[in-house]
Amino acid sequence: MFNLDFFGGVNEIGGNKILLHHDDSKYFLDFGMSFSQANKYFSEFLQPRKTNGVLDFIEFGLLPKMKGIYREDYMKHSGLPYDRQPGVDGVFLSHAHMDHSAYINHLRYDIPIYLSEETYLILKLIEDTSRVSFTDLINLKTDFQLTPRKRMDGYKRLPRNHCQKKRKIKMMKPYKYYEVGDLKVKMVPVDHSLPGANAYLVETDDNSLVYTGDFRFHGRKPKLSQKLVKACQKLNPHIMICEGTRMLDSDSVSEKDVQQIISTKIRDYKGFVAINYPIRDLDRLLTFYNIAQEVGRELVVNLKQAYMLNLFKGKGYPDISDVAIYVPRKGWGLIDNESYAFYQDQWICSPKIDEYQIHFDYNRWERDLLNQENTINYTHIRENPAQYLFRCDFFELKELIDIKPEKGLYIRSMTEPFDEETFIDYKKVLNWLEHFNLKMFQVHASGHASGKEILEMIREINPEKVYPVHTLSSSSFQELEENDIEVIIPPLKK
């Protein structure tokens, strides 16, 4: 028999943390962050303290109060016991969106993390490039370590990079059954708004279960999700844990629609065009790359997106040599010939300063990219605005000050603002657009199937029980009772 505990993802979108017990085995299905819960108590400058380990998170139910699962440095630093053996046998990650994976930072290194290759690469991207705390997703960098001083008595702190422990990463191949403890587990790829998203099929001698993760049928790879339906029909599962983000919608704008609508919109437009889309959605990047080709412009991406394209080299996405890489002015801003630095008794212009010095303005992971031949900066776009399709996310709005567009379009290809936090940022975007005389145009294809598609899919699979997760519309699943499918809205465990 399976037992399920839901520590997140019930009656909320995201925060999936589902504990699956079977006899003596215990596995988590995802271990994500609940944005809605976290935003209830915290904000950008009011963050959980690392010095309190996991306790600030547990205080508000953001992390489960469970023994034996959290990392040693956090536990010991807070004076809490650290068990010799982990309290769970592993975590299966459906995909690398934060609301499914972010909190693995807090887990001990010896809990195996099962994932796809692409999920691994995105977690690596986040770990390598993020400047925020709590991003030990692949390597656990031990905090709170001391070492004896060399010449005098006492101790000094060790930098956290000094002691790294590699997590037990278990990369799974799609469609292959793995024996994991007393479970047989198969990872099945689905279409979603970032690479490497999967559902999991779990079997034991007497029971079977499907966990869908997040999925859709209208992206670039709808066949994957259709194949999942087939695989589930074959499994004939007792239990289905199914996402329901868009239960109230009955149709979807497809990735193809997005490409066609934007292409038509800007084909004859001769001015500056900025675009914004979620950086990890490489299918959307591909959409904009295709649009750029169709309308005779060059897609301009930031350093982080270029770093990601490098990680995904050879996996069906554009190469970094196919796009232009935008280098922003940072620190001393020595990349153009308009910034000066003081030397001896005069202010000199930056091209006289050697490249090595310029590199100090950039993070380590950014430096190799600066040497690429296809880098550009604001001067290129300012001079030839009609030549480019400039990716401009929230943090890049400041580049508009340097680019100085006289007017133009801003194509927003991401989810509409949905809560207080996103509305505040959205209003700021509108102010920037008004200031620079840019007209907003919104076109987006969601990462999630419509309610109509989800109900149809569940009927086709015909499980005995459905647990709705990742949804604010659990009750919309209840019409499945007519098909003799039991719908269970589980209690949230803390």
- Whose Cβ is closer to Zn ion: residue 28's or residue 272's? 28
Radius of gyration of the chain (CA): 24
Other residues' Cβ atoms within 10 Å of the Cβ of residue 452: 14
Q: Which two tokens stand for residue 68?
A: 């034996």
What's the closest the beta carbon of residue 384 comes to Zn ion, in angstroms? Answer: 37
What's the closest the beta carbon of residue 244 comes to Zn ion, in angstroms? Answer: 13
What's the closest the beta carbon of residue 221 comes to Zn ion, in angstroms? Answer: 15
Q: Which two tokens stand for residue 58?
A: 């547990």
- Whose Cβ is closer to Zn ion: residue 215's or residue 378's? 215
What's the closest the beta carbon of residue 54 comes to Zn ion, in angstroms? Answer: 24
- Whose Cβ is closer to Zn ion: residue 200's or residue 390's? 200
- Whose Cβ is closer to Zn ion: residue 190's or residue 274's? 190
Other residues' Cβ atoms within 10 Å of the Cβ of residue 347: 9
- Whose Cβ is closer to Zn ion: residue 26's or residue 97's? 97
Q: Which two tokens stand for residue 180?
A: 């994991």
- Whose Cβ is closer to Zn ion: residue 38's or residue 327's? 38
What's the closest the beta carbon of residue 100 comes to Zn ion, in angstroms? Answer: 6
What CA–CA distance (Å, rounded) separates 195 from 186?
18
- Whose Cβ is closer to Zn ion: residue 30's or residue 366's? 30
- Whose Cβ is closer to Zn ion: residue 130's or residue 437's? 130
What's the closest the beta carbon of residue 105 comes to Zn ion, in angstroms? Answer: 18
What CA–CA distance (Å, rounded) separates 327 from 340?
18
Give the distance from CA 478 to its chain's centroid.
30
222 membership: H or E segment, kind and range: helix 222-235
What's the closest the beta carbon of residue 193 comes to Zn ion, in angstroms? Answer: 6
Q: Which two tokens stand for residue 160?
A: 């956290």
What CA–CA distance (Å, rounded) separates 46 from 49?
9
- Whose Cβ is closer to Zn ion: residue 94's or residue 142's? 94
What's the closest the beta carbon of residue 95 comes to Zn ion, in angstroms? Answer: 6
List of residues 6+ apart from 170 with CB closer than 8 A:
90, 112, 113, 114, 115
What's the closest the beta carbon of residue 447 comes to Zn ion, in angstroms? Answer: 6
The Cβ-side half-sphere exposure at 201, using a 13 Å CA radius, reads 23
What's the closest the beta carbon of residue 477 comes to Zn ion, in angstroms? Answer: 19
Neighbour-count burial for 39-78, b at 16+ CB within 10 Å, e otherwise: eeeeeeeeebebeebbbbbbeebbbbebebbbbbbbbeee
Positive/negative CA dihedral, 171, 176, 179, 184: positive
- Whose Cβ is closer to Zn ion: residue 89's or residue 99's? 99
Contacts to Zn ion by CB under 5 A:
97, 214
474-479 long-range contacts (CB < 8 A, ≥24 apart) are: 474/10, 474/11, 474/244, 476/244, 476/247, 476/248, 476/451, 477/242, 477/244, 477/247, 479/455
Q: What is the DSSP letter of 447?
A: S
What CA–CA distance (Å, rounded) separates 158 from 135?
19
